[in-house]
């Protein structure tokens, strides 16, 4: 299995990188796993300019020419992705935030439906929960079929930087859970929140005005998706019916 690890530490091979290496070691106890590492402090991924081109007219129209396309291709071809960032002031590092910003178009046009995701953060004391919630919410909108969270405490005291003992056990259990997620991939069955996201985006981006304001999204939702979800999936009819009700309610709120 091919797993891509994207490390957002400005320190490169830091506590966060070392933590992912421990995850790799644990996963290899269960089977054949190959990890490829992308260190965001080493790769050419320029700072997002907020020009809106990727959202409106397509990611290929981004004026920044760097490793963006290469990274996306690696994410799509992987079986799973580890998204890892240290916690800085109760959030991700600026490198990881820029990474998310550069792929904002995937929030509009999801495409990582075959990938399981592990979101990992290392933290000195507190703030891991909010960081992982932010990371999980972001990659959920990209279409990842499952999200597993792994917070690890690495206190910067005593001249050592080591994961606390109780978190080592969590790391071992979570690594096994992530491995099992990669192995046991059933037919995609979207969560209720993902169904609401899909129905709401489809409703917004297939309106007449979207053809002008968001032509790339209009094209995506009118020509490139299935009727019940972004891709062929096992859509629960009851969840889908409730999601339809929520969609109608939210669209009325937006229109009023």
User: What's the pLDDT tens digit per position in 201-223?
Assistant: 999 999 988 999 999 999 999 99
| Domain end among 161, 183, 205 | 183
Count of CB atoms within 10 A of residue 49's CB?
A: 12
Output 61-66 pairs: Cβ under 8 A, ≥24 positions apart.
Answer: 62/102, 64/102
Are residues 223 and 137 located together in one domain of the fold?
Answer: no
Residue 97 has pLDDT above 90, yes or no: yes
Cα 16–Cα 107–Cα 6 angle in degrees, nearest 5: 20
Counting Cα atoms < 13 Å in the Cβ hemisphere of 209 gives 3
Locus of tokens 């929960």? 129
**CATH classification at residue 92:** 3.40.50.360
Task: Give the Å distances, CA to CA, from 26 to 38, 166, 175, 178, 179.
Answer: 19, 16, 6, 10, 9
pLDDT tens, residue by residue, 32-55: 999 999 999 999 999 999 999 999
Average pLDDT over residues 214-235: 91
Q: What letter would DSSP give residue 93?
A: -
Are residues 137 and 170 located together in one domain of the fold?
Answer: yes
Are residues 76 and 108 located together in one domain of the fold?
Answer: yes
Average pLDDT over residues 168-194: 92
- pLDDT value at residue 158: 62
| Domain end among 183, 212, 245 | 183
Are residues 155 and 229 located together in one domain of the fold?
Answer: no
Are residues 197 and 166 located together in one domain of the fold?
Answer: no
User: Domain range holding 214?
Assistant: 192-255
Are residues 11 and 83 located together in one domain of the fold?
Answer: yes
Are residues 153 and 70 located together in one domain of the fold?
Answer: yes
Q: Which string of b and e fits 10-32 if b means at least 16 CB within 10 Å?
A: eeeebbbbbbbeebbebbeeeee
Cβ atoms of 216 and 57 within 8 Å: the answer is yes
Taking all residues of the chain, what is their mean pLDDT, rounded to a whole number? 93
Q: What is the DSSP string of 164-200?
A: -HHHHHHHHHHHHHHHHHHH---S----HHHHHHHHH
Average pLDDT over residues 144-154: 94
- pLDDT value at residue 157: 72
pLDDT tens, residue by residue, 58-95: 999 999 999 999 999 999 999 999 999 999 999 999 99
The answer, as to whether pTM is greater than 0.95, is no
Contacts of 220 (CB under 8 A, 6+ apart): 108, 109, 205
Read off the pLDDT band of 162 (50, 70, 90). Answer: confident
Q: Give the C-alpha separation, 21 to 5, whole Å.
A: 10
| Domain end among 166, 183, 200 | 183
Domain count, the chain: 2
- pLDDT value at residue 159: 62
């Amino acid at each position: 299995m091919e797993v891509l690890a994207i490390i957002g530490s400005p320190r490169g091979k830091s506590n966060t990188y070392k933590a992912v290496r421990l995850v790799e070691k644990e996963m290899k106890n269960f089977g054949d796993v190959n990890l490829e590492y992308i260190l965001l402090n080493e790769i050419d991924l320029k700072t997002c300019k907020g020009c809106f081109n990727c959202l409106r007219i397509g990611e290929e129209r981004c004026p920044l020419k760097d490793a963006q396309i290469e990274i996306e291709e690696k994410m799509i071809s992987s079986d799973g992705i580890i998204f890892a960032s240290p916690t800085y002031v109760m959030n991700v590092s600026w490198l990881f935030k820029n990474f998310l910003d550069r792929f904002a178009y995937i929030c509009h046009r999801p495409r990582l439906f075959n990938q399981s995701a592990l979101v990992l953060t290392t933290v000195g004391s507190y703030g891991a929960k909010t960081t992982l919630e932010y990371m999980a919410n972001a990659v959920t909108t990209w279409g990842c079929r499952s999200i597993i969270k792994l917070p690890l405490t690495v206190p910067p005291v005593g001249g050592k930087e080591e994961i606390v003992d109780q978190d080592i056990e969590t790391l071992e259990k979570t690594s096994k859970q992530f491995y099992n997620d990669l192995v046991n991939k059933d037919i995609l069955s979207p969560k209720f929140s993902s169904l609401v996201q899909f129905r709401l985006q489809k409703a917004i981006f297939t309106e007449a005005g979207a053809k002008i304001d968001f032509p790339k999204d209009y094209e995506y939702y009118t020509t490139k998706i299935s009727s019940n979800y972004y891709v062929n999936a096992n859509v629960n009819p009851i969840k889908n019916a409730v999601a339809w009700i929520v969609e109608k309610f939210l669209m009325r709120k937006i229109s009023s």
